[in-house]
């Protein structure tokens, strides 16, 4: 990705002005990274697809399996239904009306049943994983986001969730609302940042 493309995305979601990033928290760059990797303007390839073409991973390897799954990642708004008996959560994709086994140790240990989240998911096996960004949602945030892109209301729920404008708009509204004040990330060693 070119620096100009990254800045364009950051400006679009309110994290840059001109050529200057305006961040309250370095983790806000995760929102820019998500959009840079997984979305692209119409008739343009996504960064993840360009990387997959150039990576030349051996078919059947774990790396190839994960990269293939990442190329099929989908933005979803999910509601936590319950804990999975082995690990993770069972969530319902409210726009596509499907149940998903979401393996995410941090979410499993910190989020109550019934919670609504916006995230990008990919499924390397029979389970799904988040691609890095998770936004706690509520009806007000979703309504505010849809007010900014009313043309999505003319689409089916599945089409709207696949539209590249939806995650960017949700991220912009959530960031303007101070979302990072309500999110803490846990690293594998157990430290909170």
d(CA 151, CA 159) in angstroms, rounded, equals 11
pTM of the model: 0.89
pLDDT at 50 over 60: yes
What the block records as the tokens of 189 is: 């060693």
Q: What is the mean pLDDT of residues 165-170?
A: 94
What per-residue confidence (pLDDT) applies to 72? 96
What the block records as the tokens of 61 is: 């390897």
How confident is the model over 114-137, as pLDDT tens digits?
A: 999 999 999 999 999 999 789 999
How confident is the model over 64-87, as pLDDT tens digits?
A: 999 999 999 999 999 999 999 999
Confidence of residue 179 (pLDDT cuts 50, 70, 90): confident
Instruction: Return the top range by mean pLDDT from 81-85, 109-113, 151-155, 175-179.
Output: 81-85
What the block records as the tokens of 50 is: 């360009």
Query: CA angle at residue 138 from 8 to 97, to 5 degrees?
Result: 90
């Amino acid at each position: 990705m070119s620096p100009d493309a990254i800045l364009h995305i950051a400006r679009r979601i309110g994290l840059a002005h001109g050529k200057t990033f305006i961040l309250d928290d370095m983790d806000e760059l995760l929102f820019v990274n998500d959009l840079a990797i997984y979305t692209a303007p119409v008739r343009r390839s996504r960064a993840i697809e360009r990387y997959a073409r150039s990576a030349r991973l051996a078919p059947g390897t774990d790396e190839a399996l994960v990269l293939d799954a990442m190329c099929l990642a989908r933005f979803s708004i999910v509601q936590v239904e319950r804990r999975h008996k082995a690990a993770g959560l069972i969530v319902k994709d409210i726009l596509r009306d499907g149940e998903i086994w979401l393996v995410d140790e941090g979410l499993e240990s910190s989020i109550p049943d019934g919670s609504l989240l916006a995230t990008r998911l990919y499924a390397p096996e029979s389970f799904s994983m988040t691609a890095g960004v998770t936004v706690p949602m509520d009806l007000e945030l979703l309504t505010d986001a849809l007010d900014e892109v009313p043309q999505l209301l003319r689409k089916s729920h599945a089409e709207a969730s696949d539209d590249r404008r939806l995650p960017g708009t949700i991220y912009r509204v959530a960031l303007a609302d101070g979302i990072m004040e309500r999110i803490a990330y846990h690293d594998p060693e157990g430290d909170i940042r």
